[in-house]
Amino acid sequence: MPPATHTSAAGKHCFYYGHRRPSRNRPVVFGGLFTNRQTLPSSTVEGDTLSGGRQSKPRPSTTIHFRDWDPDLPSSSSSSAPPSLTDSDRRLSPLARFICDSLRRNHRWCPAVLSDLNKLRRVTPDIVSEVLRSRPLLPASIYTRFFRWAGRQKGFSHTFASYNALAYSLSASGLFRAADQIPELMLAHGKSPSEKQLEILIRFHADARRPLRVFHIYQKMRTAFGVSPGRTFLYNRIIDSLVNCGRLDLALAVYDDLRSDEGLKEDAVTFTIICKGFCRAGRIDELIHLLDRMRSEVCRPDLFAYTAMIKILTAEGNLDGSLRIWDEMAKDGVEADAMAYSTLIVGLSKAGRMEKAEKLFRAMKQKGFLIERSVYGALVEGYVAGGKLDSGFQIFKEMVDDGYRADLDIYDSLIRGFCSAGRFDNAFKLFELVITEGIDPEFTTVSPLLVGYADADQIHNFFQFLDRLRGLGLPAMDFLSSFFTVFLERGGREVKALKLFAELKLKDFSSVSIYNILIEALHKIKEVKKALTLFYELKSSDHLKPDSCTYSLAISCISDIGDADEACSYFNMMKENSWTPAVSAYVSLVRGLCVAGEIDAAMVVVRDCLGNVTGGPMEFKYSLRVVDACRSGEPEKVVEVLNEMAELGYPVEDVIYCAIIHGFCKHASSGEARTVLDVMKDRNILSGANFVLYEDMLNEHLKKEAASLVISGLKFFGLEKKLRWRTSLDDSSS
């Protein structure tokens, strides 16, 4: 009696002979886009037992349901939920999606990946290229390992598509030098590189703007592999990438190869690219000669070529060259369009050559071209910059008559020009026109009026304008802060700024940022007392509180007047509030502590600065190097650090000398510190007066160190109370 058919295989045809009982060697094959093999453990197969009647242990199932990786088929009910599919994954085949999913899950080349790959019957070169081009955001080493694994399959041979896909993945991962070795890899596998590999590598380097690599791969393929561009298009691609990156000399070398290559000839695109290169380099005479060759050998340059050349020359500021090309265009009988006119007019207006720009503008209007608003704006700005306000305003009126609405840049230019000429009434009327047009003014719009009123001492108009801004719902306080910054950029206005701020405070126009701006400006002109007056006024205010910037400025000012104790108190207060002082505050505080002889405190502040501020002062960094060199007890190493500072152009500040005193007194003796000071004096780096000053500072520091050691010893032996009792007796007897 034949054995009963297994229930799971009922009605299923075997891969070989039809109805047959499944076993481990003859799996059941389900239909679908890909085969789905199911093997049965020996314990479930009827009559399949080992010797002695003992059944073998069931093996783990290695079932793969490719329905889970095929979005067009329903997923298998026996497997887990299918992986989430992105738009890029949906374009892949199910087998490629299965491989990509395995690589993503493991994120490295490991036995788990090999186990998944070994479940597949075979991976074709098309699947390899598909996986490599998908770029599943993995390390590039996984791509190369997968490429090598696929090549080791029996009877497998990589195709040009898989080689190109490997180059694509390596270049996308930033390993462009490894991608350049693909031709050598192909040659080692018995495949000669072709023009397609050259084109792919050129495209990768051109898109990444690597001109030297473009020229290198071109030369290597031409000399080492005998592969040269077989089409003018590829030559043009190479020349264009070199020209766009500013490598005109290399582009001309490739152009010479094109001219010497038999069977190929330069076309209009080639001439246009070389012309663009000459435009960027400003070689106008060679450009004109090349245009003559282009007319005689290929064709006459068209309007687009001329417009591109004019645009490049205008952007480079070579207006004389632009006008020469304009004349060449007229000589060829090419009619300029609105783009060519606009490009040249804008360039001439920015350069201040308004007569020629006006002439071209009138010719453009006469021909009936549609003029863009940017052309009007460039003309207005050019006339205003040249001081011809009436001409600029006339262009503005003409623009309005032509049906255009002016943008904010045009209004800002006119307002700035009228305020510079002292015509504040005209500027204010334009500001009201901006409001009427429904345009929200910015600081660049109101700044000229505020600065003009303040500079002309028209305080009444200044406050009226502020009230107008506040009535419009504009951020008047923010405008005021920016106004003081702009107003104090030009020196000599500090007194006016203080007077104006005094008037503003009476009308509640004050803020912490304005205080900070004024304090910083007064500190720059050495008016430290006035700056501190503002600081104490802000500190005692009821509705305004100083911020970290205010305290940083106060530390700088107080350190400059020599009050190190108060400066340190504000520094400690900032540290308690978790505020980081500014670098200028650190520098001023360290300088003040060094002058006051508080060397240890100065070094503590130096370390705090370098620990909390990125890019701290170089003198602080060198001071720590000096202290580290003092550990050896050899003055020569300290002198080497000072020589390095002199070579790099860094001056030897007070903190460096204090670091020498601190380092040698802590790690060696005072004799080495005196030796270094003598060397600096002999080199005329340290004057005689400063030598005496630092020598006294060294002696005082030694006394402090000795006193601290005595007190530490008394504390250690518990004699501190007796010292205090003896001190009180001496005071009472005196």
CB atoms within 10 A of CB 688: 9
CB atoms within 10 A of CB 315: 13
pLDDT band at 67 (very low <50, low <70, confident <90, very high): low
Q: Provide the pLDDT for residue 704.
A: 72
Mean pLDDT of 448-461: 93
> What percent of the chain shows pLDDT beyond 70?
83
Mean pLDDT of 456-484: 92
Tokens of 611: 């620990």
The H-or-E segment that residue 37 falls in is strand 36-38
Mean pLDDT of 556-566: 92
Half-sphere exposure of 671 (CA within 13 A, CB side): 3
- DSSP conformational letter for 66: G
pLDDT band at 102 (very low <50, low <70, confident <90, very high): confident
pLDDT at 516 over 80: yes
Q: Provide the pLDDT for residue 703.
A: 76
pLDDT band at 221 (very low <50, low <70, confident <90, very high): very high
> Which one has a higher pLDDT value, 32 or 663?
663
pLDDT at 53 over 70: no
Residues 6+ apart with CB under 8 A from 340: 303, 306, 307, 310, 329
Cβ pair 166, 143 in contact under 8 A? yes
CA 554/CA 570 separation, integer angstroms: 8
pLDDT band at 254 (very low <50, low <70, confident <90, very high): very high
CA 69/CA 92 separation, integer angstroms: 10
pLDDT at 78 over 60: no
Mean pLDDT of 317-338: 91
Mean pLDDT of 123-130: 89
SS3 sequence of 365-384: HHCCCCCCHHHHHHHHHHHH
Mean pLDDT of 511-515: 94
Q: Provide the pLDDT for residue 89.
A: 60
Cβ pair 360, 345 in contact under 8 A? yes
Mean pLDDT of 419-434: 93
pLDDT band at 91 (very low <50, low <70, confident <90, very high): confident
pLDDT at 444 over 60: yes
Tokens of 667: 């790690």
Residue type, 719: L
Cβ pair 315, 287 in contact under 8 A? no
pLDDT at 457 over 50: yes
pLDDT at 409 over 60: yes
pLDDT at 405 over 60: yes
Q: Provide the pLDDT for residue 551.
A: 95
Look up tokens 């940083």; give the residue. Answer: 552
pLDDT at 17 over 80: no
> What interhelical angle do 618-630 and 635-648 show, nearest 10?
160
Residue type, 649: G
pLDDT band at 290 (very low <50, low <70, confident <90, very high): very high
pLDDT (tens digit per residue) in 687-734: 888 888 888 888 887 777 666 655 666 566 565 665 555 444 455 444
Mean pLDDT of 114-124: 86
> Which one has a higher pLDDT value, 28 or 251?
251
pLDDT (tens digit per residue) in 343-384: 999 999 999 999 999 999 999 999 989 899 999 999 999 999
Q: Provide the pLDDT for residue 51.
A: 40
Give the least confident one: 501-510, 514-523, 703-712. Answer: 703-712
Mean pLDDT of 180-196: 89
Cα–Cα–Cα angle for 249, 216, 138, nearest 5°?
A: 130
pLDDT band at 1 (very low <50, low <70, confident <90, very high): very low
Q: Provide the pLDDT for residue 278.
A: 94
CB atoms within 10 A of CB 300: 13
CB neighbour class for 406 (10 Å; exposed up to 12, middle 13-18, buried from 19): buried
Mean pLDDT, all residues of the chain: 84
pLDDT (tens digit per residue) in 596-626: 888 889 999 999 999 998 888 999 999 999 9
Mean pLDDT of 552-575: 93
- pTM beyond 0.75: no
Cβ pair 244, 209 in contact under 8 A? yes
